[in-house]
């Protein structure tokens, strides 16, 4: 054996100092993993802020647990990857139908990195250097955008009033980080009048079931995070991002695209296409460096959307909306005033009454197994409801925070 490793230098002269679980048997590994998982507490979540505890139909996990899906690689050999490729094509279609856009890619890492890549697309298309953030953004998204823009020498500008001849794009989070829903028209008009692209970023895409589609309202690019579509929160990942564009930007879209073609007998088949955009062909001139994406999470979303259908997805959105508004009403009756000025979907911001500290409130909730709100300056809490929250949960929540 040693001869095989003659070129491996310098040789590690000792064993790796890496502990096994017991002797490394499957039983011991399993026990160890359960012990670790047992140190985490699954709570009742009134916490959103970028990860959403929506119900996942049992069939989703059953579908993505098919090992023909999860132990396959990227579908480079199309003839033996028709399952993955057709599923990607269906995913792309679902994203287009929901966003009202012309084309979508096979997925991105998450909402935050999809946002950053959309800013690059706009900068490249317009040959401009300023990225305009139009409203209240998820701080993780903003942080990621800033890191990417620093590296790419793009400048982030805040507020629609600062639009100008250097603005590559106007980006609106909708609903915004505090749950507020904007009317898109005014932003579209201002962006296009300045020659900038208009980009909409979506944190919880179940909102699209009841909100007007951004594509119909003039968005050039729509990005977002798809975790809400059938992916467990999983302590922050893997989730997935998506990007959808109008036709004129298809050749600038990052990442993989599945398309329809025919086989040698004229039958319909699917392949990865327009690969001249991608890193393995175009190298330093590629539209992005993305290679692996979030295929299995996108498959979970495709299964989720197929299972729920328009009726089910609408119900998820309506229930989430209804529960959030019920909670807000009951909190308002008890001195927690709504801090939002515009309509909200399933997240909203409340100001805690004088004498009630946000940290203390969250602590009391946690004692009862409830994850409370995301703390915001000025003694405010960002609260979230999904369809998993019941009226009884809301009554309990209100009782704890009022008591």
Partner 1 sequence: MARDACGTLGELKLIFEHEGTNTNYVPMDMALNDRLPSPFNRKNLPLPDVSEVDVVRHFTLLSQRNYSVDTVFYPLGSCTMKYNPKINESASRLEGFAAIHPLQPAETCQGALQLMYELERDLCEITGMDAVTLQPAAGAHGELTALMIARAHFHGKRKKIILPDSAHGTNPASAAICGFEVVNIPSNEKGCVDLPALEKAMDETVAVFMLTNPNTVGIMEENMPEIVRIVHGKGGLIYCDGANMNAMLGITRPGDQGFDLMHLNLHKTFSTPHGGGGPGSGPVCVKAHLEKYLPLPRVVKKGDEYSLDYSKPDSIGRVRSFHANFGVLVKAYAYIKALGPGLKKVAEAAVLNANYMLASLRGSYPVPHDRLCAHEFVLSGDARASEGVHTTDIAKRLLDYGYHAPTIYFPLIVHEALMIEPTETEGKETLDGFIAVMRKIAGEPAELVKGAPYTTPVGRLDGVAAARKPNLRWNREA
Does position 383 interact with partner 1 (CB under 8 A)? The reply is no
In the complex, the smallest distance separating the C-beta of residue 214 from partner 1, rounded to whole angstroms, is 11
Partnered with residue 131 across adjacent β-strands are 156, 169
Does position 112 interact with partner 1 (CB under 8 A)? The reply is yes
C-alpha span between 213 and 208 (Å, rounded): 7
Q: Please, which of residues 339-358 interact with partner 1 by CB under 8 A?
A: 343, 345
Does position 367 interact with partner 1 (CB under 8 A)? The reply is no
Specify the residue, 264 or 354, whose C-beta has the smaller distance to partner 1.
264
> Which residues have CB under 8 Å from 243's CB, separation 6+?
104, 105, 108, 114, 117, 118, 221, 222, 223, 253, 254, 255
Does position 338 interact with partner 1 (CB under 8 A)? The reply is no
Does position 377 interact with partner 1 (CB under 8 A)? The reply is no
Burial status of residue 345 (CB atoms within 10 A of its CB: 0-12, 13-18, 19 or more): buried
In this structure, what token pair is assigned to residue 42?
A: 């699954």
Binding mask 25-54 for partner 1 (x = CB under 8 A): xx--xx-xxxxxxxxxxxx-x-x-xxx-x-
Does position 110 interact with partner 1 (CB under 8 A)? The reply is yes
Specify the residue, 80 or 195, whose C-beta has the smaller distance to partner 1.
80
How large is the C-alpha radius of gyration of the chain?
Answer: 23
Each as own residue / partner, the long-range contacts of residues 325-332 (CB below 8 Å, 24 or more positions apart, any chain) are 326/385, 326/391, 326/394, 327/46, 327/383, 327/385, 327/389, 327/394, 327/397, 327/398, 328/383, 330/394, 330/395, 330/398, 331/383, 331/398, 331/401
Three-state SS at 163 = coil
Single residue of 156, 192, 246, 318 touching partner 1 by CB under 8 A: 318
In the complex, the smallest distance separating the C-beta of residue 371 from partner 1, rounded to whole angstroms, is 5
Q: Please, which of residues 280-309 interact with partner 1 by CB under 8 A?
A: 280-286, 288-297, 299, 302-303, 305-309
In the complex, the smallest distance separating the C-beta of residue 353 from partner 1, rounded to whole angstroms, is 23
Number of residues that bind partner 1 (CB under 8 A): 185
In the complex, the smallest distance separating the C-beta of residue 94 from partner 1, rounded to whole angstroms, is 7
Single residue of 387, 389, 394, 398 touching partner 1 by CB under 8 A: 387
In this structure, what token pair is assigned to residue 8?
A: 């491996």
Q: Please, which of residues 172-231 interact with partner 1 by CB under 8 A?
A: 181-183, 208-213, 225
């Amino acid at each position: 054996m040693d001869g095989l490793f003659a070129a491996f230098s310098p040789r590690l002269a000792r064993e790796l100092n890496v502990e096994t679980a017991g002797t490394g048997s499957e039983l011991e590994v399993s026990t160890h993993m359960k012990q670790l998982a047992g140190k985490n507490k699954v709570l009742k979540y009134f916490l959103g802020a970028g990860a959403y505890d929506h119900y996942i139909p049992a069939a989703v996990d059953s579908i993505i647990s098919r090992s023909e899906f999860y132990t396959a690689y990227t579908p480079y050999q199309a003839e033996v990857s028709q399952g993955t490729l057709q599923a990607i094509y269906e995913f792309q279609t679902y994203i287009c139908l929901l966003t009202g856009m012309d084309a979508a890619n096979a997925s991105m890492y998450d909402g935050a990195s999809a946002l950053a890549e959309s800013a690059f697309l706009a900068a490249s298309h317009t040959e401009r250097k300023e990225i305009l953030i139009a409203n209240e953004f998820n701080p993780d998204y903003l942080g990621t955008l800033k890191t990417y823009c620093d590296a790419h020498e793009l400048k982030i500008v805040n507020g629609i009033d600062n639009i100008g001849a250097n603005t590559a794009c106007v980006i609106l989070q909708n609903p915004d980080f505090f749950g507020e829903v904007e009317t898109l028209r005014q932003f579209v008009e201002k962006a296009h009048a300045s020659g900038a692209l208009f980009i909409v970023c979506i944190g919880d895409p179940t909102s699209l079931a009841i909100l007007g589609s951004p594509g119909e309202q003039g968005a050039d690019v729509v990005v977002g995070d798809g975790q809400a579509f059938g992916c467990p929160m999983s302590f922050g990942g893997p989730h997935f991002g998506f990007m959808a564009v109008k036709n004129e930007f298809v050749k600038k879209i990052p990442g993989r695209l599945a398309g329809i073609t025919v086989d040698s007998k004229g039958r319909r088949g699917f392949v990865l296409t327009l690969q001249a955009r991608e890193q393995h062909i175009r190298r330093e001139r590629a539209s992005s460096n993305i290679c692996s994406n979030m295929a299995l999470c996108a498959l979970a979303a495709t299964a989720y959307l197929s299972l729920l259908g328009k009726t089910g997805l609408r119900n998820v959105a309506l229930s989430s909306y209804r529960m959030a508004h019920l909670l807000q009403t009951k909190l308002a009756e008890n001195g927690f005033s709504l801090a939002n000025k515009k309509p909200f979907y399933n997240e909203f911001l409340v100001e805690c009454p004088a004498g009630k500290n946000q940290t203390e409130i969250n602590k009391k909730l946690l004692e009862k197994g409830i994850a409370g709100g995301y703390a915001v300056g000025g003694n405010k809490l960002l609260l979230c409801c999904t369809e998993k929250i019941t009226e009884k949960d809301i009554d309990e929540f209100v009782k704890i925070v009022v008591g």
